[in-house]
Amino acid sequence: MKLHDLKPAPGSRKERTRVGRGIAAGKGKTAGRGTKGQKSRAGGSIPAWFEGGQTPLQIRVPKLRGFKRRDRIEYQVVNVGRISAYAAAGRFGVESSELGGTQGAAGDPVTVNVEVLRRAGLVSTERKPVKVLGSGDVTEKLFVATDAVTRSARQKIEAAGGFVQVLAGAKASDDAAAGDSTAEPASDEPASEPEPEPEPEAASDDEGTDPPKRRSRGTSTESTDTDL
């Protein structure tokens, strides 16, 4: 085999179709572009995302507004005023034998937890955490065991003689977060006083020191040679 015998593999090379060279050539007249229309014109390229003029997909899709936190906790909220009203009406004492939400002897606080709230209809499920809000007045002594509580709700419950217990594992309430102090304690060591700056030394008037000579304008101190 010699160099002039080398040929490409059969089917690996295909001749270019010469369009617009007459009807007999098979690709004359419209040259494979069809009849009329945007694609039959020179330079009539259409992008892949073009949808014929209808509203494009990127405009039909709703825009992303903000974001959602992955660790966001959805609380079931209950106002402390409704809890107090239900306790005053005795609606928590119906299930007291099963759930421990008892209103015992006079002066004992009413125990309120997620099970009691669900049985009373204040929350819909026991699978989600509960947060007690501070709207309304508290007239009953309450022992509230909840996942989170606002500062105003805690203050109203404690002012009525009750108390609040935040369950372990839940996020800290606003009151607990406000009570945490991150400031470092002040040091007992006295602040060091700045060292006094040294006073500038006064210039000494020595007898041997000659006063500076004044130089008159236009007068040279050097001797000039008058000889030409």
**Cα 47 to Cα 12: distance, rounded to the nearest angstrom:** 31
Report whether 148 contacts 166 (CB < 8 A): yes
Regarding pTM above 0.75, the answer is no
Report whether 98 contacts 116 (CB < 8 A): no
pLDDT at 64: 82
Query: What does pLDDT average to in each consecutive run of 10 residues of the chain (228 residues)?
Result: 93 92 91 90 89 92 86 94 93 53 61 94 94 95 95 96 86 46 46 61 54 56 48
Helices (H), 160-205: 174-179
Q: Is 160 inside a domain boundary?
A: yes
Q: Is 145 inside a domain boundary?
A: yes
Q: Is 28 inside a domain boundary?
A: no
At what angle are helices 80-88 and 151-159 packed, to 10 degrees?
30
Q: Is 93 inside a domain boundary?
A: yes
What's the structural domain count of the chain? 1
Reported as type and span, the H/E element at residue 81 is helix 80-88
Report whether 171 contacts 73 (CB < 8 A): yes
pLDDT at 45: 87
pLDDT at 107: 67
pLDDT at 66: 86
Q: Is 16 inside a domain boundary?
A: no
CATH number at residue 148: 3.100.10.10
pLDDT at 178: 45
Which residues form the domain of 165?
A: 76-175
pLDDT at 221: 47
Q: Is 167 inside a domain boundary?
A: yes
In 3D space, the residue among 166, 159, 105 whose CA is nearest the CA of residue 136 turns out to be 159
Q: Is 156 inside a domain boundary?
A: yes
Q: Is 88 inside a domain boundary?
A: yes
